[in-house]
Amino acid sequence: MKYETMLERFLGYVNFKSRSDVSSTTLPSTPEQKDFLRMLKGQLEELNLKDIVLNEENWFLTATLPANTDKPYDKIGFISHVDTADFNVEGISPRVIENYDGKDIVLNKEQNIVMTTEEFPNLHNYKGLTLITTDGTTLLGADDKAGITEIVEAVKYLSEHPEIEHGEIRIAFGPDEEIGRGADHFDAKGFATDYAYTMDGGVLGELQYESFNAAQITYKITGVSVHPGTAKGKMKNANMIAAELASLFPEKEVPEHTEGYEGFYLLHNMQARIEEAEMVYIIRDHDKEKFLARKKFAEEVAAKINEKYGNVVEYELYDQYYNMGDVIKEDKRCVDVAEQAIKNAGVTPIIIPIRGGTDGSKISYMGIPTPNIFVGGENFHGQYEFSCLEHMTKAADTIVEIAKLAKK
């Protein structure tokens, strides 16, 4: 299928600054996301979609492509997020490389920033294709503006080809996915689909319906600061206690030593001085029982330190999201439809767990099973991010094929 405005639309979206901000307490976390959503609302109106609503309480933009047949179809949805990750977004200048030669890519000659095939051997998979890269100083924002582009292009294609029968299709674009907040406010009851898909994956063919169970624990250590010349028997150095606390965690159960279904602990950030320290760990595991055991272990670490030094550690532990696979496995119709749609688009499905979470992790627990589908890009969240135009086209094809296959 042809999407003649795919590249132009994508370049327009990535040039629109919409980074989220974890330190903000507003919804959405940055005003630029509101501006982007308002612009998208205007584009959806130009496509003559129905029920277009930009909800200024949860800041989700929703719309409907009505069914064009009386035949029984599932009511389906497609979802993407408008915010981009915590990396420089000032002066995004995308480069379009047609018929890529498979060699190192000089992103920025002046600053000698090169995306090498030695460091990124996956580049060899894109020889002869069209790549969209950064100039080496910003992210691209394909996560998730590629997903938005593909949804809009696919819906546009379906509206222009009424000979393709489909049921009702709902779309939603929302804020603050990158900081884990946007889906907390999603109106699943109002969206009212049988199932949905986040277009928020990576490489060609990815289909993901299992995510981590996720929690965060914050340790606050209270030390005692005394002049070092008279500190014997009095000082409690929070720096050293924090280091000791960290040493109690399993050395190999960290992101840099795990893959697939293996869980981990990650010391996400830390601030420390003699009188006080704060350590933030995230806890991840696909398996529910192992996840519970990891949380218990994290609490026991604090107990051990308190037993040794007195009550110097307080902590706050809370769950962030759960493995959507535990919901979706009850009815895998949404996975089966997507897998066949990917095949119909001429792509080999790659069914793998997400080593993270998506908005679908939360939305699935709101009653709408929501797997995740590829958008055709790699190296997200940084200066080496890129998208492949031909693979974006395959993602849009997959959306169209899902619409065809979603029969009751």
- CA-nearest of 123, 173, 191, 202 to 13 is 173
Sign of CA dihedral 27, 32, 38, 39: negative
Annotated ligand binding at 200? The verdict is yes
Q: What residue type is 29 in one-letter code?
A: S
Phi, psi for 68 (deg, rounded to 5): -115, 20
Give the Å distances, CA to CA, from 255 to 249, 259, 268, 283: 13, 8, 11, 10
Where does residue 93 rank: exposed (0-12), middle (13-18), buried (19+ CB within 10 A)? middle
Rounded to whole angstroms, how far apart are CA atoms 174 and 186? 8
Beta-sheet pairing, 213-222 with 276-285: antiparallel
Task: Give the max Cα distance, the chain.
Answer: 85
Bridge partners for 265 per DSSP = 283
Instruction: Report the alpha-carbon angle 58-61-67, nearest 5.
Output: 130
143 is in an annotated binding site: yes
Tokens (6 digits) for 374: 């590829």
Contact between 347 and 361 (Cβ < 8 Å): no
DSSP tag of 77: E
Neighbouring residues of 88: CB distance < 8 A, sequence distance ≥ 6 = 137, 138, 139, 383
Catalytic residues: 83, 177
Measured distance CA(210)–CA(356) in Å, rounded: 9
381 annotated binding-site participant: yes
Report the binding-site residues for Zn(2+).
81, 143, 178, 200, 381
Report the binding-site residues.
81, 143, 178, 200, 381
